[in-house]
């Protein structure tokens, strides 16, 4: 992320506008779709990021391509990004906006690190327990790392719940190193 403060400020402004319009979910879905389109189109990305292209041409292109497919508040937000020379922050702002929408909807993402893919039944059970613990709807993001050997490490916001074999072995090694030898 290039500039977190800029992304947060603009994402907050879009969040406020979408809430005022009463179409936060629709704006969020449209923004995610736009990010996908821009990510998959080098020509569009180059055109929008180019300082040689006039702002009015960028706005006309957006209106012609997306005008009737996205919410007006989002289209006007994109115009604002162009006017303020912040269109290059489009993807970063989108990431911040998506996180703000999830927080507003009571969704929390938990990164789960295991040595092998977590079976569906264990993932469902873990999701349920984390939901009870946090009081929010939890979305698991599974990461596989053979170095953990076994067990589970859950990162939930700024909290880490580490129940991996690797961390237990490291803790045991540290304890044994400090133990007096006779």
User: How confident is the chain (182 residues) per 10-residue block, as mean pLDDT?
Assistant: 84 95 94 92 89 93 90 95 92 94 92 90 92 90 89 85 83 85 76
Cα–Cα distances in angstroms (integers) from residue 69 to residues 26, 28, 40, 164, in the given order: 11, 13, 18, 47
Same domain, 78 and 145: no
Same domain, 157 and 91: no
Give the separation between CA 98 and CA 86, rounded to whole angstroms.
18
Same domain, 58 and 72: yes
Query: What is the residue range of 173's domain?
Result: 106-178
Same domain, 123 and 43: no
Q: What is the pLDDT of residue 2?
A: 66
Same domain, 14 and 66: yes
Instruction: Pick the last residue of a domain from 73, 103, 133.
Output: 103
Give the separation between CA 84 and CA 47, rounded to whole angstroms.
17
Same domain, 42 and 112: no
Q: What is the pLDDT of residue 1?
A: 47
Number of domains into which the chain is organized? 2
pTM of the model: 0.73
Instruction: Pick the last residue of a domain from 81, 103, 125.
Output: 103
Three-class secondary structure of residue 155 per DSSP? strand
């Amino acid at each position: 992320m290039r500039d977190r403060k800029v992304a947060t400020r603009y994402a907050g402004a879009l969040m406020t506008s979408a809430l005022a319009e009463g179409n936060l979910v629709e704006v969020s879905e449209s923004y995610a779709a736009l990010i996908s389109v821009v990510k998959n189109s080098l020509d569009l990305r180059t055109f929008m990021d180019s300082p040689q292209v006039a702002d009015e041409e960028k706005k006309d292109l957006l209106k012609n391509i997306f005008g009737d497919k996205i919410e007006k508040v989002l289209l006007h937000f994109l115009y604002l990004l162009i006017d303020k020379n912040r269109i290059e922050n489009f993807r970063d702002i989108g990431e911040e906006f998506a996180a703000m929408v999830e927080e507003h909807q009571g969704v929390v993402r938990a990164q789960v690190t295991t040595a092998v893919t977590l079976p569906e039944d264990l993932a469902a059970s873990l999701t349920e327990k984390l939901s009870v613990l946090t009081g929010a709807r939890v979305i698991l993001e599974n990461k596989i790392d053979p170095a953990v050997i076994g067990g589970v490490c859950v990162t939930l916001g700024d909290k880490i719940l580490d129940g991996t074999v690797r961390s237990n072995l490291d803790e045991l090694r540290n304890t044994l190193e400090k133990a007096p030898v006779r």
